[in-house]
Amino acid sequence: MATHDHHHEHEHAHPKAPDEAPPGYYEIMEIAVRELLVEKKLIEPDEIRRQIEVLDSRTPALGAKVVARAWVDPAFRARLLDNGRAACEELGISIYDDTQLVVLENTDKVHNLIVCTLCSCYPRAVLGLPPDWYKAKAYRARAVKEPRAVLQEFGTHIPDDVEVRVSDSTAMVRYLVLPQRPAGAEDLTEEQLAALVTRDAMIGVVRVQNPGTDRP
């Protein structure tokens, strides 16, 4: 990218090391589209780099922080279930796109699973970018039809008396699963609880495990 914060001996900014292969057709297209949009002043030269910094700053650790807070603070949990976006912003997590965040609470009676059947919509502001399997056909096609079988493939058995609810994300509405706090985690601090919460638990394909009791 031709930004001014890099120093180049030559007139053209060059993102590749000398021994690397030249870019492929679609990478050339990406560079060309971006440069044309900058030339037309429709986007700023530095915006892509700054957005990459935003993307890099978003990981499942943010979602885990939200979940752990909801586990220890019932008032926060209520606000989170009422308005996910506002509650995340309370913790300093900005929802950088124009999307709603609906938080779905797992209970003894309900297990939630999220999917995007049409494409790959995902709560990126709190989880980062989705894993490849979330974007691939098998998960998108089957999650809404046979969620229990899908969960079983992730090693998660949901008893028959627990309802499985599947929520299909859209461009405007994103979902985040609030997993159940694992048994035996009563004495853990909020930070220790957050460390137990995984990306896949917030998608709903697994439960949160407590290594102290669940994996002896």
Residues at the contact surface with another protein, assessed by CB under 8 A = 1, 9-10, 12, 14-16, 18, 22-23, 26-37, 40, 42-43, 47-49, 51-52, 54-55, 96-98, 115, 117-121, 129, 131-133, 135-145, 150, 153-154, 168, 171-172
Instruction: Please report how close the Cβ of residue 77 comes to another protein at its closest, in angstroms.
Output: 29
| Coil, strand or helix at 47 | helix
Pick between residue 96 and residue 107 the one whose CB is nearest to another protein: 96
Q: Which of 88, 116, 167, 169 is catalytic?
A: 116
Residue of 88, 94, 120, 169 marked catalytic: 120
Nearer to another protein, 71 or 147 (CB): 147
Of 88, 121, 167, 169, catalytic: 121
88 is catalytic: no
Query: Which lies closer to another protein via its Cβ, residue 151 or residue 193?
Result: 151
Instruction: Report which of 98, 117, 114 is spatially closest to residue 106, judged by C-alpha positions.
Output: 114
Of the listed 57, 94, 119, 169, which one is catalytic?
A: 119
Element spanning 107, H or E: none
* Angle made by CA atoms 127, 180, 154, in degrees to the nearest 5: 65
Tell me whether residue 70 or residue 147 sits nearer to another protein (CB atom). 147
Least spacing, CB of residue 160 vs another protein, in Å: 21
Please, which residues have CB within 8 angstroms of residue 206's CB and are 6 or more apart in sequence? 154, 155, 156, 198, 200
CB 213 to another protein: min, Å: 25
Q: Using the Cα atoms of residue 203, residue 208, residue 211 and residue 215 in order, give the sign of their dihedral.
A: negative
Nearest approach in angstroms of CB 175 to another protein is 15
- Residue 149, judged by CB atoms within 10 A of its CB (0-12, 13-18, 19+), counts as exposed
Cα end-to-end distance, the chain, whole Å = 50
Spell out the residues 6+ positions from residue 76 whose beta carbon is closer than 8 angstroms to its own: 69, 70, 87, 90
Least distance (Å) between residue 150 CB and another protein? 7
Q: Reply yes or no on whether 121 is catalytic.
A: yes
Judge contact between 200 and 70, C-beta under 8 A: no
Write out the catalytic residue numbers.
116, 119-121
